C-alpha cells in the first residue's frame, strides 16, 4: 500500500508585513519557502478563518515561494471582524494587489472550502494570472448549498449539534436562521455577539471532520476567532457572496487551459460532493479525486495526501 503523504516540516516565514488595501483595511501577509522559487498564493477558508502555520506546510519549501494572507477582518488583519468594504470582489482585488507586490506575473492558486470559492472567483476574473488551480472542499455558494448547511440537511446527521446551533435563536425566528444570526452577530452588545458567534462557529468546527477531532474544533470556540469567523461568514453568506446564483459553475469555461486538481471528501458535510462533481464536468482538464472515508477538513489523512501530491506535482512546472 502506498504510504500517505503528510505535512512538510514546520517552517517560519522569510518575510511578512501589512498591506494597506484601502477602505480602512490592512491585511497581514507572509511568504514562506524559498524566495524566487515557484510562486503560489494560499486562500484560507471561512470566510473569516484566517491562516495557520500548518498551511505553510502544504508546499515543498525548497521549491515554492508561497504567499499566505489573512483576508479582510480576520486573523492578524485589521480592523478585526469588520464588515465594511468586505466582499468577494474586494478580496479578489486584494489578491491582485498582493500578486503585484510579490512581483510575479502568474502564480499557483490554492484554495479550500470558502478558499475554493474565492479561488474560482479570482481565476474566472483573472485567468491569465493563474498557472495552476488546486481546490479542496469545493463550495460554489448557491442557495441550495447554504440551505443544506444552515437550514436543513446536515442537521439530519448531527441532531445533537444542531440543537446547540439553534439554542441562541427563539423558535419564532428559526425560519430564517441566517437572518436571525445576522441580527445577533451585528448587535452592539458584545455578549450577544459572542454567544451567537460561538454557536455559529462551533457548528462548523464540529461538523467538518468525518470523526470528532477536538484539536481541530476547539479553536472554533475561542472568543476572538469565533467573533471574526461568525460575523464575516454570516455577512458573506447573507449576501450570497455577492455572486449571481450559479455564477461560478456557469463561468467555469473561463478556466479552460488552466491545469488543476480538485480534491473532495466523500462525506464532506458543509460542502456536498455534488457541486465538486459539477465543477469537474464543467472543467474536465482538472484531475478529480474523491477521497473515501473523509469529510471536509484539509488535515484529514486522505485529503492531505492528495493536496501534497498536487503541490508536489506542480512544483517544477
Phi-psi group of 64: left, alpha or beta (phi > 0 → left; psi -120 to 50 → alpha; rest → beta): beta
Q: What is the pLDDT of residues 57-79, one digit of tens each?
A: 999 999 999 999 999 999 999 99
Phi-psi group of 189: left, alpha or beta (phi > 0 → left; psi -120 to 50 → alpha; rest → beta): beta
User: Confidence band (pLDDT; 50, 70, 90) for 216?
Assistant: confident
pTM for the whole structure: 0.98
Q: What is the pLDDT of residues 80-92, one digit of tens each?
A: 999 999 999 999 9
296 a catalytic residue: yes
Considering 55, 235, 280, 296, which one is annotated as catalytic?
296
Cβ neighbors of 300 (< 8 A, separation 6 or more) are: 209, 210, 265, 291, 294
Considering 113, 116, 155, 201, which one is annotated as catalytic?
113
Cβ neighbors of 231 (< 8 A, separation 6 or more) are: 48, 73, 81, 83, 185, 186, 193, 197
Q: Using alpha carbons only, how large is the chain's radius of gyration in Å?
A: 18
User: Confidence band (pLDDT; 50, 70, 90) for 268?
Assistant: very high
Q: What is the pLDDT of residues 154-208, one digit of tens each?
A: 999 999 999 999 999 999 999 999 999 999 999 999 999 999 999 999 999 999 9
Answer whether residue 237 shows pLDDT above 90: yes
pLDDT of residue 317: 80
Helix (H) or strand (E) holding 116: helix 114-125
Q: What is the pLDDT of residues 21-52, one digit of tens each?
A: 999 999 999 999 999 999 999 999 999 999 99
pLDDT of residue 1: 58
Q: Which strands, in side-by-side order, build the sheet including 287-291?
A: 15-22, 25-33, 64-69, 38-43, 107-112, 130-136, 260-265, 287-291
Stretch 293-304: mean pLDDT: 96
Cβ neighbors of 240 (< 8 A, separation 6 or more) are: 141, 143, 146
- The Cα-based distances of 229 to 73, 113, 298 in angstroms read 9, 14, 18
Considering 217, 268, 280, 305, which one is annotated as catalytic?
268
Contact 196, 183 (CB under 8 A): no
Domain boundaries, the chain: 15-142+242-314, 144-240
Superfamily of domain 15-142+242-314 in CATH is: Alpha/Beta hydrolase fold, catalytic domain (3.40.50.1820)
Amino acid at each position: 500500500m502506498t504510504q500517505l503523504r503528510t505535512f512538510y516540516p514546520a517552517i517560519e516565514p522569510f518575510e511578512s508585513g501589512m498591506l494597506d488595501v484601502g477602505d480602512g483595511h490592512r491585511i497581514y501577509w507572509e511568504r514562506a519557502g524559498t524566495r524566487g522559487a515557484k510562486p503560489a498564493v494560499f486562500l484560507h477558508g471561512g470566510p473569516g478563518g484566517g491562516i495557520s502555520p500548518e498551511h505553510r506546510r502544504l508546499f515543498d519549501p525548497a521549491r515554492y515561494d508561497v504567499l499566505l494572507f489573512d483576508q479582510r477582518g480576520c486573523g492578524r488583519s485589521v480592523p478585526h471582524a469588520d464588515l465594511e468594504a468586505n466582499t468577494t470582489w474586494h478580496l479578489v482585488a486584494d489578491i491582485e494587489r498582493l500578486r503585484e507586490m510579490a512581483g510575479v506575473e502568474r502564480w499557483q492558486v490554492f484554495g479550500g472550502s470558502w478558499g475554493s470559492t474565492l479561488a474560482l472567483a479570482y481565476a474566472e476574473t483573472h485567468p491569465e494570472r493563474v498557472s495552476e488551480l488546486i481546490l479542496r472542499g469545493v463550495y460554489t455558494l448557491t442557495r441550495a448549498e447554504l440551505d443544506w448547511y444552515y437550514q436543513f440537511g446536515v442537521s439530519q446527521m448531527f441532531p445533537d449539534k444542531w440543537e446547540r446551533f439553534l439554542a441562541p435563536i427563539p423558535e419564532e425566528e428559526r425560519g430564517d436562521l441566517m437572518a436571525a444570526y445576522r441580527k445577533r452577530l451585528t448587535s452592539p452588545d458584545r455578549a450577544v455577539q459572542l454567544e451567537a458567534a460561538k454557536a455559529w462557529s462551533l457548528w462548523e468546527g464540529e461538523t467538518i471532520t468525518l470523526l470528532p477531532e477536538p484539536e481541530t474544533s476547539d479553536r472554533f470556540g475561542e472568543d476572538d476567532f469565533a467573533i471574526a469567523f461568525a460575523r464575516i461568514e454570516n455577512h458573506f453568506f447573507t449576501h450570497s457572496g455577492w455572486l449571481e446564483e450559479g455564477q461560478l459553475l456557469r463561468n467555469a469555461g473561463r478556466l479552460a487551459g488552466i491545469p488543476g486538481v480538485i480534491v473532495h471528501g466523500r462525506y464532506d458535510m458543509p460542502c456536498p460532493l455534488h457541486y465538486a462533481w459539477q465543477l469537474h464536468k464543467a472543467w474536465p482538464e482538472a484531475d478529480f479525486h474523491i477521497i473515501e472515508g473523509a469529510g471536509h477538513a484539509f488535515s484529514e489523512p486522505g485529503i492531505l495526501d492528495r493536496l501534497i501530491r498536487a503541490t508536489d506535482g506542480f512544483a517544477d512546472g
